[in-house]
Amino acid sequence: MTEVLIPSDATIVEIAQEVWSSILEDAGELTSVFGFDEKHETAVLAFIEITGNWHGSVRISCSVQAAKHIAAGMFGKSEIDVEDDELSDAVGEFTNIIGGNIKALFPSPCNLSLPGVAGIGSFADNLPPGLEDKISEVQVVEVHLEWEGEPLSIGLWENK
């Protein structure tokens, strides 16, 4: 494997903001923050795997409210009308787009898996359900973002 450069936090934040504002109409601002306070312990967890010249995964976790906001924006409906399957479809596609844009930072060829949405878990979980086989991955980037106080974090985990 060739030596690859791990993308900077700033690049990941930029990608997230670009995806956020272009797929959600009137999205509101997604801002970068240093960490989350205690009240956000449960989250929707999603991941996508990159293989090839870099091997690892992109893991996204966000509060249920943030996930609803994403789904509502993508489906063009109100947040109260968002069904569970729509929520996971939307978070999955959001993860797919972010993952695709992160993949583009690594030297090609790299491949992207289909996204997986692990359902509700805890922010503290380093290993959400569905990722048990990724026990050997180590986190190389972690960024925290916030939309109207609702948290969204993106982690890059490398399979060394």
Residues 33-92 that bind another protein (CB under 8 A): 71, 74-76, 86, 89-90, 92
Residue 96: C-alpha distances to residues 39, 78, 89, 149 (Å):
28, 23, 10, 24
13 interacts with another protein by CB under 8 A: no
User: At which residue do the structure tokens 């929707």 appear?
Assistant: 44
Among 41, 79, 104, 122, binds another protein (CB under 8 A): 104
CB 143 within 8 A of CB 153: yes
CB 143 within 8 A of CB 156: no
Q: Cα(87)–Cα(91) distance, rounded to whole angstroms? A: 6
Nearer to another protein, 40 or 58 (CB): 58
139 interacts with another protein by CB under 8 A: no
- Among 56-64, 101-109, 123-131, 141-149, which window interacts with another protein (CB under 8 A)? 101-109
Q: For another protein, how many residues bind (rule: CB under 8 A)?
A: 31
9 interacts with another protein by CB under 8 A: no
Among 42, 53, 96, 159, binds another protein (CB under 8 A): 96
Kindly tell me the burial class for residue 81, based on how many C-beta atoms sit within 10 Å of its own C-beta (0-12, 13-18, 19 or more): exposed
3-state secondary structure at position 143: strand
Residues in contact with another protein by the rule CB under 8 A: 7, 11, 14-15, 18-19, 22-23, 25-26, 71, 74-76, 86, 89-90, 92-93, 96-97, 99-101, 103-105, 108-109, 112, 114
